[in-house]
């Protein structure tokens, strides 16, 4: 059986961290019966430089013929000019839409070895273990109109649009995920203001009827933004629309103490998924061996779990990451000046995990 | 000179905390040359019960003939039924719109006595002192269309709408405020996705040209949601649109350790403002003397500062609140089981401040 993984290194530290993750994947897959072919394609700023567009057709075609996609990160000051019509992020938004990746999963889990690196007190973050399920191809990100208006262009609108089916499918994903976990779903909306949130809430309640074992509650997004910090261990599966999910999942990353540890999976209706670290392209440290490859390595573990159905191998990688941290190995971003810490470069961190 | 302050107690603990704040205001005003008349009107659930609407015309008329408005809180389970067409929050949204209260100011400041009550580590929150300026009468809150669509109502849209002038006036407020503070403005948007954010950013940059002394920077809302926790002392004045402001200002409340300490001021183009605590109506503890009146008392201080131009009296109240906390007095929500803490009821806390 041959599987194809398309690697989209992107910009900045993207190439370094995807290289690390590919090395880890190769070493795990070597021992399996599955034959995996890795194909590399350009996206983001790198694609703008090479093809004049952040998402070349060639990249889309290759992605559509893949079993899974592994992405580094996109963007950098080089492509940030206001005058530039084509921004690297459009590559990311474009591939999400082209592949129909409507459910973005962000696991937020405490690493015992890193608890003290969190800005939040130990007692609040010690037992955190939840997943944010963010809707990824609708809402304000893709709603039309999104434009200036009026005789002097002095009006502007963006549109938060959803269909019942778009909400339904991501809510369903969240409930299914909760069934394999602690059977608790927290749905986040702004139902006291938005009509879309009221529809969201109705659909969650309807879905809940089909999952009597699952405990469901609704939180307003402003309240959730507080509770993520004041009481994060209450959560199991959170589900929310695109923009709220963008904000809350970045906020949630402070719990673990480092964005450099946070993987993500973006799934569609098939098994094909896009796996990428939650962090950005960090152009300031690119090429110096300072990048933390762990978020990408953990994303590769999610790839094995969700796209290749290799649960055992996935948890092997996750355990290896925990072990390496427990042994005191730290990349630059994880330094806390504690005793026993050994600061290592990207490559050595990867070797240790392998 | 006679001034009129309209008091809108609202629901839950609203009546208790506004009563406290009025007592503090009376004691301060007694010694001044200004004669103040307090008039009470209904809003929210209490108005639904009495008039069948959360914002009776009588309340609006009275507010329009006032120099300042002091509000408690609205809402409660009693009016939460899905079947209810009229929700208490509509009173709040309605009065903001009717009075043109486009700029919501939320000061976030560490109270030395409460530093350890924060879920965030002392070193991160010790020197926090910023103000969030949130646009309050535009964006997704009031944009039209906001409706279901399609043959089976299976589509839904909300609209994020702004005019140049609406953005301009709130940005201007933020810059003016920064001139009286540490001369730093952080504008928060999602310019990599939203057209409205790109217009917002342009207007901030244009305004910045007229304020060469002010250091301006732009942050994406997802990144800001992280930095509010990981590096809150970097901020002086933050300015952002309505929904982002709603989420970020509630998130920011965790820094101080208690929502019970956070005042807010909502200002229009004139001097008239609406002053209210950031917390809700807490129906579970209503009528038990457990409510923390300090956020409302601090809101009354903002009322003196912004609507009555009584800066000296405003800071007197603020100093009194700090003093009372330094002496160990705590309402129920502020208990941390530290030594020297004296737990007091709403009324005694108010007496101590007076
Ligand atoms: C780069 C940006 C468009 C993107 C988003 O907002 O979705 C990013 O913040 C993310 O969360 O993956
Ligand atoms: C009650 C609700 C409509 C309101 C808002 O979202 O503006 C509240 O959260 C606030 O921040 O004052």
- Reading phi first (left if > 0) and then psi (alpha if -120 to 50, else beta), residue A134 is in beta
Which DSSP letter does residue A284 get?
G
Structural domain includes residue B114: no
Tell if the CB–CB gap between A119 and B230 is shorter than 8 Å. yes
Separation between Cα atoms, residue B293 and residue B25, nearest integer Å: 13
Q: In terms of domains, do B84 and B143 share one?
A: no
Query: 10 Å Cβ neighbour count for A58?
Result: 12
How much of chain B, in percent, has pLDDT values that exceed 70? 99
Structural domain includes residue A111: no
Q: In terms of domains, do B13 and B35 share one?
A: yes
> Which of B103, B138, B246 best tests ligand 2's pocket when mutated (most atoms within 8 Å of CB)?
B246
**Tokens 């392998």 correspond to what residue?**
A354
User: What is the gyration radius of the CA atoms in chain B, in angstroms?
Assistant: 20
Structural domain includes residue B325: yes
For the CA of B222, the closest atom of ligand 1 is 9
Residue A180 pLDDT > 80: yes
A311 touches chain B (CB under 8 A): no
List, as ranges, residues 164-193 from A with C-beta within 8 Å of B: 164-165, 190, 192-193
Structural domain includes residue A170: yes
Query: Do A146 and A164 form a contact (C-beta atoms < 8 A)?
Result: no
- Mutation site for B-interface testing, chosen from A108, A163, A229 by largest number of B Cβ within 10 Å: A229
Q: Of A225, A255, A285, which marks where a domain is finished?
A: A255
Q: Of A200, A234, A255, which marks where a domain is finished?
A: A255
The alpha carbon of residue A38 is apart from the nearest alpha carbon of chain B, in Å, by 30
Tell if the CB–CB gap between B226 and A121 is shorter than 8 Å. no
| pLDDT the model gives residue A116 | 87
Domain around A282:
1-106+259-354
Q: Each residue of B181-200: pLDDT tens digit?
A: 999 999 999 999 999 999 99
Structural domain includes residue B109: no
Q: In terms of domains, do A154 and A270 share one?
A: no
Query: Do B236 and B130 form a contact (C-beta atoms < 8 A)?
Result: yes
Q: In terms of domains, do B297 and B185 share one?
A: no
Task: Determine whether B183 is exposed, middle or buried from the number of CB atoms within 10 Å of its CB (0-12, 13-18, 19+).
Answer: middle
Q: Label residue A271 by pLDDT band (50, 70, 90).
A: confident
Structural domain includes residue B20: yes
- Does residue A11 have an active-site annotation? no
CATH number for the domain spanning A182: value is 3.40.718.10
Which DSSP letter does residue B269 get?
S
Q: In terms of domains, do A302 and A193 share one?
A: no
Pairing of strands A103-109, A263-267: antiparallel
Residue B84 pLDDT > 70: no
Query: 10 Å Cβ neighbour count for A121?
Result: 16
Q: In terms of domains, do B236 and B279 share one?
A: no
Q: Each residue of B207-227: pLDDT tens digit?
A: 999 999 999 999 999 999 999
Q: Which of A222, A270, A323, A326 is catalytic?
A: A222
Give the count of domains, chain A: 2
The alpha carbon of residue B28 is apart from the nearest alpha carbon of chain A, in Å, by 34
Q: What is the mean pLDDT of residues B294-314?
A: 97
Q: In terms of domains, do A194 and A211 share one?
A: yes
Q: What DSSP element (H or E) covers B90?
A: helix B88-98
| pLDDT the model gives residue A65 | 97
- Mutation site for A-interface testing, chosen from B76, B93, B136, B193 by largest number of A Cβ within 10 Å: B193
Q: In terms of domains, do B68 and B150 share one?
A: no
Q: In terms of domains, do A217 and A299 share one?
A: no
Structural domain includes residue B37: yes
Q: How many CA atoms lie within 13 A of B258 on its CB side?
A: 22
Q: What DSSP element (H or E) covers A300?
A: helix A294-306
pTM for the predicted model, two decimal places: 0.96
Q: Of B207, B222, B255, which marks where a domain is finished?
A: B255
Separation between Cα atoms, residue A135 and residue A145, nearest integer Å: 20
> Which two structure tokens, joined as six digits, stand for A192?
């006291």
Structural domain includes residue B113: no
Separation between Cα atoms, residue B31 and residue A159, nearest integer Å: 53
Mean pLDDT of chain A: 95
Q: In terms of domains, do B226 and B178 share one?
A: yes
CA angle B104, B106, B111 (to 5 degrees): 170
Q: In terms of domains, do B276 and B245 share one?
A: no
Strand partners, A155: A149, B163
Q: In terms of domains, do A176 and A277 share one?
A: no
Q: Which of A93, A157, A221 lies nearest to residue B161, judging by beta carbons?
A: A157
With a CB cutoff of 8 Å and minimum separation 6, the contacts of B39 are: B4, B5, B6, B7, B62, B66
């Amino acid at each position: 059986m041959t599987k194809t993984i398309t690697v989209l290194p992107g910009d900045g530290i993207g190439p370094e961290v995807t290289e690390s993750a590919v090395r880890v994947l190769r070493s795990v897959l070597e021992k399996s019966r599955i034959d995996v072919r890795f194909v590399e394609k350009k996206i983001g700023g790198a694609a703008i430089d090479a093809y004049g567009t952040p998402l070349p057709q060639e990249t889309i075609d290759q992605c559509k013929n893949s079993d899974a996609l592994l992405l580094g990160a996109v963007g950098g000051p080089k492509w940030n000019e206001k005058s530039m019509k084509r921004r690297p992020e459009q590559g990311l938004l474009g591939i999400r839409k082209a592949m129909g990746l409507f459910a973005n999963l962000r696991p937020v889990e405490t690493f015992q070895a890193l608890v003290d690196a969190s800005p939040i007190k130990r007692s609040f973050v010690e037992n955190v273990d939840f997943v944010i399920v963010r809707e990824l191809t609708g809402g304000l990100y893709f709603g039309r109109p999104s434009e200036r208006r009026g005789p002097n262009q002095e009006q502007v609108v963006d549109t938060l649009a959803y269909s019942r089916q778009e909400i339904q499918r991501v809510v369903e994903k969240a409930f299914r995920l909760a069934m394999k976990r602690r059977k608790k779903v927290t749905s986040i909306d702004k139902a006291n203001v938005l009509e879309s949130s009221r529809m969201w809430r109705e659909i969650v309640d309807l879905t809940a009827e089909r999952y009597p074992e699952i405990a469901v509650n609704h939180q307003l997004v402003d309240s959730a933004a507080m509770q993520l910090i004041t009481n994060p261990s209450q959560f199991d599966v959170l589900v929310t629309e695109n923009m709220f999910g963008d904000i809350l999942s970045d906020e949630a990353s402070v719990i673990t103490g480092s964005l450099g540890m946070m993987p993500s999976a973006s799934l569609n209706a098939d098994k094909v998924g896009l796996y990428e670290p939650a962090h950005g392209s960090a152009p300031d440290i690119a090429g110096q061996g300072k990048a933390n490859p762990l978020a990408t390595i953990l994303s590769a573990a999610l790839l094995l779990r969700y796209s290749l159905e290799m649960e055992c191998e996935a948890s092997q990688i996750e355990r290896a990451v925990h072990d390496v941290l427990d042994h005191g190995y730290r990349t630059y971003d994880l330094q806390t000046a504690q005793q026993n810490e050994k600061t290592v470069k990207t490559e050595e961190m990867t070797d240790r995990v392998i």
